[in-house]
Chains A and B, each alone.
Chain A
Amino acid sequence: MRLYHKIFFSGLLVMVSFCCAGSNSTYITLSNQVSRASELKVLSNNVANAKTTGYEQDRLLFRDLNHPESRLKTNSYVYTNSVYRPEEQGDLKATGRNLDIAVVGRGYFKVLTPRGERYTLNGQLFVSNQNELVTKDGYPIASIDDQAILIPPEAEIIEIVEDGTVYVDVEETGRIGVFTFPKNFALAKEGNSLYSANIVPTIEDDYSVVSGALRASNVNMASSMSELVELQRSYEMTNSLMTELNDLDKQAVEKIMKPNQ
């Protein structure tokens, strides 16, 4: 075998191994595209809920995923790890309605639904025809001892003060509970501004209840739009990388088919 043949074959070998790794790189780039698509879905939901009372925006966390048997140990895929909610609170929006309340601090109101206890940041309250203080869906809001709060029918002025105590015509009638979960504990969203939890929250005293205002959504339009641009760029860049990888694969195949050229 002549020298140039040897050189040619060793070169071909490198190309073929690149080609095999190439399919790997296709999957790696693909994992980025899938992640960006999920990210866009979450972002889209955030922006759609920019006017939702008490909405907390979701962010996706990604992590790298290695295949332990992989020849190339440095290869890792992007993988959706979990959703998290940044702790920043939405603005308070004044409504001037006594029964619109909001929590300042970490804490949620508890709602007594027929399906069990749920939590919410939406403090839009009404007095039901059963004389109970209820949410917009008609579920009673819980007091600190998990009871519905009763408002006498002849009530004239209902006031809710800083610690959540409800006064009806200067008489104390109950205290709305504000429940706190440990940090980094994610409540599962249920829709309809409700959260479910599988642990028992505690009552802390580092909160205050504001009457006459509602908690606005914490979605920030400007940062959402810059995130959108960023993820679009990432998608496009990875896309052109995929195109180039594909071209390399094609070239390798052509070279193998026509070794004399």
Chain B
Amino acid sequence: MITRALFTIAAVVALTYATGSFVPRGALVTGSGAALAFGFLLIVAVQAARICDKLKMPRLTGYILIGLAFGPELAGIITAKMLADLALVKGTAVGLIAFLAGCELNLRHLRPRLRAIGTTALLTMLGAVVLLFAIFYALTYLLPVTLTFTTIERIAVALVAANVLAAYSPAVVVGILSETKAQGPLSETSLSIVVLADLVIVITYALSSTFAHGVFPSESGASALSMLVPHIFGSIGAGLVAGGVLALYASRVGSRSGVFTFAVLFISAEAGAALHLNPLLVGLAAGLLLENVTAIGGERLSKAAESVAMPTFAIFFAVVGAEVQFQAFLHTAPYAIGAAALRGLGIWAGARVAARMVGLDAVFARRLTFGLLPQAGVAIALVALLLADFHPWGPVVGTIVLGSIIVNQLIGPVLFRNALAAAGEIRAGEEAGGVADGDHQLA
């Protein structure tokens, strides 16, 4: 199996590389470059998934590594232009991932555990933010660009960086749960926490960056707080509209619901890119509406969307891997690894305290930590804002933050998969999945 997958990767790489030699390096071929990159990444990512299955590793790690290996920074088969053309696929993927997460969150079902989930989310975030704030505050005394900063300026830098790095990854959690078909309390709690926490992170980032803009008034960029209301409420509104359309379609028409769901999310992503809507919030609001308000329920549409979910995940995470700035990471590796370690420590400590407060099992709390380690979509989106909004210190601090995200991106999925396996939830999911002919059921 592994040999065949490697042979296929080699063949597709050779074909794509040969095609790339048609035009000089850097020349643009409109449209076809994106189709070529899409096909290449999808085929190679599926082969990587097969290898990962054999090695008992998460497929997501395989997708990310494939993107990293063939992206612009290393092999260069996928060029920066091709990646830019795939941005729409990425936006759709984020929307789909959030939609699937929303469809799995039945608030009535979760109500008895809402206090535990809320407390754990709050304390793990707090634990991570405190330690990250400390390390980034200390780093301002080491980085040349922040050496002359005043205390309040150092606080602003540390606050923004800690806020970005505190983000979790609903995308990775949904992706891992989807591929392993895991079911159980750990799966459900992890998913609930990452979704809830990322909503909070998006809001707190707007607050902390507004504070930073106040401290560095000469810097460009509008007040993030003034953008907050239209951004968040506009996204939620668009999501509710999309959810309503999907519910109407599912009840009145019903056929090809998966394709229709994908098309609706694609249009939301296209519109969202222009209207500055957050695809995560749009998808989540649509999924939550379907699962908790409509009679249709989220499960029907999330199952229908499964046929398009696998290729979407593969492309999304491969693109995430391809976007990794490997050279920059190498320069900041020690700081980045240190920040990632402290983040993990903060989450673990927060989970321990929360476990004592709400009466969770200590082993469960430890395993839960691993579900909160991965980072991807939201964190990367926030880093992009950090890099763009705060010159000259934004690019320097942002590179360290990005390095830390890379570490969490590569290690997080592996640890979470192992935690699910240790909790016996993967086996439970596989058994249920076998009965349902491969359909995944998260809840």
Partners in one complex: no
